């Protein structure tokens, strides 16, 4: 109804000025309604190429499993608003990590994301004296803006570049301060560049991240002795076997503000899109030492739906 | 209120008489196809292989992978056929000369894949001007080309190598 109304309103305003016969306006109203009916049958479709919305990183942004990319979430392009939602589980020897979240991709330009991270300390909780199966929780609110470039198109040498910010709020400030963290909330700033090198079927991503986060923020931010931002790097390389299947590897450096031996992250992942709207990711992830418990290697599993 | 006004205006209309030649009324001219080629004649332009918008591959590998000129012709024709039938992008292709497009797309693919053709079509900028294509439309066209190549059993890595020549053309192809 709205376009008809608009058109009719325009006619009402323009007709007396242009001395148009009102009947002509009425005729156009009719033809507009007809074209709207046709537009109604225009099929909704997935505007983005498969997998180019990437998967959901642990902090909720579109990217790899552990690294942030310059990609924009959701399956819509310049004229649409896309959305994706994910559930992730990481099974580690001494911990169980679970996260879920949603991300909006607006006009292939802006991404807004939210993720909730739940980190089950299992037996470690008892050993550290915070309680058997104590859960560390965190909310992550993210925003990302694509500055220029395109993952697939345009100059081969110009990647898609995006700048992002993530506000992280630990819900366990008491634990964070007990281990020596300076804050229970913090902001990460990221700058990412991503390109699919079609001639080699290889996707490359590099990200620089300014952060104070300890274990991604689950153990707070900064420390009493070292409360400064550090620049960290995230890299990913992936080979595209088909439109639906990608194999890749990721690397992410992390600061060790608390002196607990926090190490870098590494994974090897496979992402598969069984349908246009579903992506499943499985990875072998090496998350190093967490809260002095070393050798945290295990399976990373994610299901993501996107529209 | 508005609905009543609209309705009364609709009722006030006279139906146009049945036997009006609307083409003549609006000065629409019948387009004649060239009897030899079956194509609709176009305004003259300078023909040049550079109009293809990409440097061709060197060597015979890509041409062979795509099944030589015959394979390339089948891919090009299937690609055009899918595009005209695709409801997502029908509006862009509607009114285009499918016969000419089959030929120029074949020539362009054949030239870029180094299978021994010259490209005689227009350059990418002028041939896509005013089509109102968005990135989403280009994505749909890429998917259709992937389907055409898949149907000819072109390996995925070779499909991507070919797409790497076409992807930079987005600058001239995307209008909005």
Q: What is the DSSP string of B57-83?
A: PSSSHHHHHTTHHHHHHHHHHHHHHHH
With a pLDDT cut of 70, the percent of chain A lying above it is 85
Please, are residues A286 and A294 in contact by the beta-carbon 8 Å criterion?
no
Quick one: A154 and A226 in the same domain? yes
A223 and A123 share a domain?
yes
Is A45 domain-assigned?
A: no
A33/A175 same-domain check: no
Which domain covers residue A28, as residue numbers?
2-40
Q: Is A47 contained in some domain?
A: no
**Predicted local distance difference test score (pLDDT) of residue A45:** 67
- The 10s digit of each residue's pLDDT in B46-66 is 999 999 999 999 999 999 999
Q: Enumerate the residues of chain A whose CB falls inside 8 A of the CB of residue B139.
A: 47-49, 77
Question: How many independent structural domains does chain A possess?
Answer: 2
- Residue B26 has phi, psi (to 5 degrees) of -100, 10
- Quick check: is B65 in a domain? yes
The answer to whether residue B26 is domain-embedded is no
Least confident of A88-102, B7-21, B81-95: B7-21
pLDDT tens, position by position, A112-153: 999 999 999 999 999 988 999 999 999 999 999 999 999 999
Q: Are residues A230 and A178 in the same domain?
A: yes
Both A35 and A169 in a single domain?
no
Question: Is the pLDDT assigned to residue B135 strictly greater than 80?
Answer: yes
Q: How far is B98 from chain A (nearest CA, A)?
A: 22
With respect to residue A21, please indicate whether it lies within any of the assigned structural domains: yes
In Å, how far is B36's CA from the nearest CA of chain A? 37
Q: Point out which residues pair with A210 in neighbouring strands.
A: A189, A231
Same domain, A29 and A90: no
Classify residue B121 by its DSSP letter.
S
Looking at the structure, tell me whether residues A113 and A249 fall in a common domain.
yes
Mean per-residue pLDDT, A82-111: 97
Residues A212 and A235 grouped into a single domain: yes
The CATH code of the domain that includes A197 is: 2.40.160.40
| Number of domains chain B contains | 1
- Domain identity same for A172 and A264: yes
Same-domain status, A208 and A289:
yes
Q: In terms of residue numbers, what domain contains B118? A: 46-52+60-173
Determine, yes or no, domain membership for A26: yes
Q: Which residues of B fall below an 8 Å CB-CB distance to A?
A: 2, 5-6, 9-10, 12-14, 87-88, 134-136, 138-140, 142-143, 146, 156-157, 160-161, 163-164, 167-168, 170-171, 174, 176
- Number of Cβ atoms within 10 Å of the Cβ of A88: 24
Would the pLDDT of B5 be above 80? no
Q: Both A112 and A248 in a single domain? A: yes
Which residue, A260, A255, A219, A254, is CA-closest to A134?
A219
| A98 within a domain of the structure (yes/no) | yes
Q: What is the ipTM score, two decimals?
A: 0.84
- Cβ-Cβ contacts under 8 Å, A200 against chain B: 160
Report the pLDDT value the prediction gives residue A201, as an integer from 0 to 100.
98
Q: Are residues A20 and A101 in the same domain?
A: no
Let me know if residue B3 belongs to a domain: no
Question: Could you tell me if residue A19 is inside a domain?
Answer: yes
Contacts of B1 (CB under 8 A, 6+ apart): none
Question: B124 in a domain, yes or no?
Answer: yes
Chosen for mutation from B8, B9, B150, B162 (greatest number of chain A CBs closer than 10 Å) is B9
Query: Considering the domain boundaries, does residue B66 fall inside one?
Result: yes
CA-nearest residue to A5 within chain B is B2
Write out the residues of chain A at the interface with chain B, using a CB-CB cutoff of 8 A: 4-5, 8, 22-23, 25-27, 29-30, 42-43, 45, 47-49, 76-80, 108, 150, 152-156, 197-201, 240-243
Q: Considering the domain boundaries, does residue B141 fall inside one?
A: yes
Give the domain CATH number at B109. 1.10.490.10
């Amino acid at each position: 109804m709205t376009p008809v109304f608009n058109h009719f309103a325009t006619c009402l305003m323009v007709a007396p000025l242009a001395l148009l016969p009102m009947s002509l306006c009425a005729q156009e109203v009719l033809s507009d309604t007809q074209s709207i009916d046709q537009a109604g049958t225009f099929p909704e479709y997935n505007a983005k190429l498969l997998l180019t919305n990437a998967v959901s990183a642990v902090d909720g942004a579109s990217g790899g499993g552990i690294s942030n990319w310059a990609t924009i979430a959701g399956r819509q392009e310049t004229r649409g608003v896309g959305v994706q939602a994910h559930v992730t589980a990481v099974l580690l020897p001494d911990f169980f990590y679970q996260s879920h979240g949603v991300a909006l991709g607006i006009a292939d330009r802006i991404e807004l994301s939210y993720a909730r991270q739940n980190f089950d300390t299992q037996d470690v909780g008892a050993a550290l004296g915070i309680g058997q199966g104590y859960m560390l929780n965190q909310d992550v609110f993210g925003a990302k803006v694509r500055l220029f470039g395109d993952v697939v198109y345009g100059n081969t040498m110009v990647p898609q570049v995006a700048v992002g910010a993530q506000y992280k709020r630990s819900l366990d400030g008491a634990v964070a301060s007990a281990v020596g963290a300076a804050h229970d909330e913090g902001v990460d700033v990221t700058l990412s560049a991503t390109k699919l090198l079609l001639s080699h079927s290889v996707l490359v991503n590099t990200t620089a991240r300014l952060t104070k986060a300890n274990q991604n923020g689950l153990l707070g931010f900064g420390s009493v002795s070292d409360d400064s931002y550090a620049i960290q790097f995230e890299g990913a390389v992936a080979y595209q076997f088909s439109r639906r299947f990608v194999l890749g590897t990721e690397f992410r450096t992390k600061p060790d503000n608390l002196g607990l031996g926090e190490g870098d992250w590494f994974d090897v992942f496979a992402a598969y899109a069984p349908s246009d709207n579903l992506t499943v990711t499985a990875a072998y992830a090496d998350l190093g030492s967490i809260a002095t418990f070393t050798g945290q290697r295990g399976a990373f599993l994610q299901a993501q739906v996107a529209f | 209120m508005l609905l009543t006004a609209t309705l009364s205006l609709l009722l006030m209309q006279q139906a146009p008489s049945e036997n009006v030649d609307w083409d003549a009324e609006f000065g629409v001219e019948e387009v004649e196809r060239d009897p030899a080629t079956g194509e609709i004649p176009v305004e003259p332009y300078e023909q040049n292989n550079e109009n293809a918008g990409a440097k061709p591959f060197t060597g015979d590998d890509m041409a062979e992978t795509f099944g030589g000129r015959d394979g390339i012709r089948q891919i090009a024709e299937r690609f055009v056929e899918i595009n005209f039938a695709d409801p997502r992008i029908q509006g862009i292709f509607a009114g285009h000369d499918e016969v000419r497009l089959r030929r120029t797309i074949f020539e362009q693919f054949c030239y870029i894949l180094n299978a021994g053709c010259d490209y005689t079509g227009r350059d990418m900028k002028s041939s896509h001007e005013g089509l109102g294509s968005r990135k989403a439309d280009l994505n749909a066209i890429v998917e259709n080309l992937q389907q055409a190549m898949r149907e000819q059993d072109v390996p995925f890595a070779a499909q991507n190598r070919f797409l790497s020549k076409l992807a930079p053309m987005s600058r001239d192809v995307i209008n909005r």
